[in-house]
């Protein structure tokens, strides 16, 4: 059997479906007391809400270890199934379908490989060219095997039901873009002056366009006032635009703007044909500062330490991530919900 990392989920899918259902039943159990103070009870729920942000990195680390092990097992199962169809061992399958099709590296490839290692190698290229060839050939084989496994996985019915750690994060229904009843809700904590937030904004829009009614976005303020002096007033301005029903249009303007001082914020409102007098009075009143502070506090409790911070159905995604990072979590969430629905129907029928 191959020890190479390898991916149809057969028994695994059923196993994790059962495990997830069991976990769901556990999460519905009554809250447990953990202490009493002069007759007042402190429950595990009270404790969880105050420490979940601090525990999240540890839970994510545990999840990544489990996820890596699960991916290895899935890939091994897929490789074994493919080998069985051809009446081969896994090693012979890889040798026949992958290794034999990888050509020897060309001189140009070897030279490029050498240049990439030049800082670690003091000898001239001509002296070690023949020694580099096996190493590069092996690297190409390993990459080809990974590509082959991706193809196996794409062509198979794989359902990953192992779920990443989740944080319960609320949102403001008035600042939701898309279907408010979408199966996947992305809650974003962001800062209008943050360059990384500006950078990821087109990606977020691409993701929303890709999934349509299946994914929605809720926006929450997280102005990093210590380094972004205009972030808070920009957040207040966006809420003043919300008063007039134009939050998302104004929000989009702020993410393309280079200037967020008071005069510029008023000008953006004028271009959107908002009521100037109402907007100006709102912006100078400071009436939304407490609500912005509430967003900040809830973000901190959830473990947000920088912007942008995303929670996809409670699963954390930090920073300006590529589209693939979003789609991986979203696809797994949609598959998980579909499989849970199927598993629930089966369990319901079995219990009758």
98-130 pLDDT, tens per residue? 999 999 999 999 999 888 887 788 888 888 989
List domains and CATH numbers for the chain. 11-154 (no CATH), 173-336 (3.40.30.10)
Between 2-11, 48-57, 168-177, the lowest mean confidence (pLDDT) is in 2-11
The answer to whether the CB of 159 falls within 8 A of the CB of 9 is: yes
pLDDT of residue 351: 55
What digits encode the pLDDT tens for the residues 211-230? 999 999 999 999 999 999 99
Model's pTM, two decimal places?
Answer: 0.70
Q: Is the pLDDT of residue 23 over 70?
A: no
For residue 341, the model assigns a pLDDT of: 59
Please report the pLDDT score of residue 307 as a whole number: 97
pLDDT at 26: 41
User: What pLDDT is stored for residue 17 in this prediction?
Assistant: 37
CB-neighbour burial class of residue 273 (10 A; exposed 0-12, middle 13-18, buried 19+): exposed
pLDDT of res. 134: 94
What is residue 2's predicted lDDT score, i.e. its pLDDT? 41
For residue 133, is pLDDT > 80? yes
Whether 11 shows a pLDDT value over 80: the answer reads no
Q: Using the structure block, give the residue that is written with the tokens 């996820």.
A: 67
pLDDT given for residue 211 in this prediction = 98
CA distances from 248 to 265, 305, 328, 338 (A): 14, 25, 26, 31
Report pLDDT digits (tens) over 292-335: 999 999 999 898 989 999 999 999 999 999 999 999 999 989 98
Q: Round to whole Å and give the CA distance between 181 and 219.
A: 15
Average the pLDDT over 10-14 and give the result.
Answer: 35
Q: What are the b/e assignments for 27-64, b being 16+ CB within 10 Å?
A: eeeeeeeeeeeeeeeeeeeeeeeeebbeebeebbeebe
Question: For every residue of 197-240, which 3-state class applies, written as one string?
Answer: HHHHHHHHHHHHHHHHHHEEEEEEECCCCCCCCCHHHHHHHHHH
Most confident of 15-19, 24-28, 75-79, 339-343: 75-79
Average pLDDT over residues 287-295: 97
- The predicted pLDDT at position 267 comes to 97
pLDDT of residue 350: 52
**Would you say how long the chain is, in residues?**
352
Angle between helices 262-271 and 231-243 (to 10 degrees): 30
Return the number of other C-beta atoms located less than 10 Å from residue 22's C-beta: 10
205: pLDDT strictly greater than 70? yes
The single residue listed with the structure tokens 């060309």 is 106
173: DSSP letter = G
254 contacts 192 by C-beta, under 8 angstroms: yes
């Amino acid at each position: 059997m191959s020890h190479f990392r390898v991916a149809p989920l057969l028994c695994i899918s059923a196993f994790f479906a059962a495990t997830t259902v069991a976990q769901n039943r556990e999460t519905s159990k009554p809250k447990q007391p953990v202490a009493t103070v002069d007759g007042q009870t402190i429950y595990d729920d009270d404790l969880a809400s105050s420490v979940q942000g601090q525990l999240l990195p540890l839970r994510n680390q545990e999840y990544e270890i489990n996820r890596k092990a699960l991916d290895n097992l899935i890939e091994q199962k897929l490789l074994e199934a493919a080998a069985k169809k051809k009446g081969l061992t896994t090693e012979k399958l890889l040798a026949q379908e992958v290794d034999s099709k990888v050509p020897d590296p060309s001189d140009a490839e070897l030279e490029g490989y050498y240049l990439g290692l030049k800082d670690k190698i003091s000898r001239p290229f001509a002296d070690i060219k023949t020694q580099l060839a096996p190493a590069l050939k092996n690297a190409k084989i390993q990459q080809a095997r990974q590509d082959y496994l991706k193809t196996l996985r794409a062509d198979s019915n794989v359902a990953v039901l192992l779920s990443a750690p989740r944080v319960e994060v609320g949102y403001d229904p008035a600042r939701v873009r898309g279907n408010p009843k979408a199966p996947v809700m992305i809650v974003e904590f962001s800062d209008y002056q943050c360059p990384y937030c500006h950078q990821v904004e087109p990606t977020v829009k691409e993701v929303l366009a890709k999934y349509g009614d299946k994914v929605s976005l809720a926006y929450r303020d997280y102005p990093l006032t210590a380094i972004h002096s205009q972030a808070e007033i920009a957040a207040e301005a966006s809420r003043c635009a919300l008063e007039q029903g134009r939050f998302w249009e104004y929000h989009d303007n702020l993410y393309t703007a280079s200037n967020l001082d008071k005069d510029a914020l008023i000008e953006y409102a004028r271009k959107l044909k908002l009521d100037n007098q109402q907007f100006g009075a709102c912006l100078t009143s400071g009436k939304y500062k407490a609500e912005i502070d509430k967003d900040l506090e809830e973000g901190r409790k959830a473990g947000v330490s920088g912007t942008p911070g995303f929670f996809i159905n409670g699963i954390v995604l930090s920073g300006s991530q590529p589209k693939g990072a979003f789609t991986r979590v979203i696809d797994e969430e949609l598959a998980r919900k579909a499989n849970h629905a199927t598993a629930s129907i089966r369990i319901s029928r079995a219990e009758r």
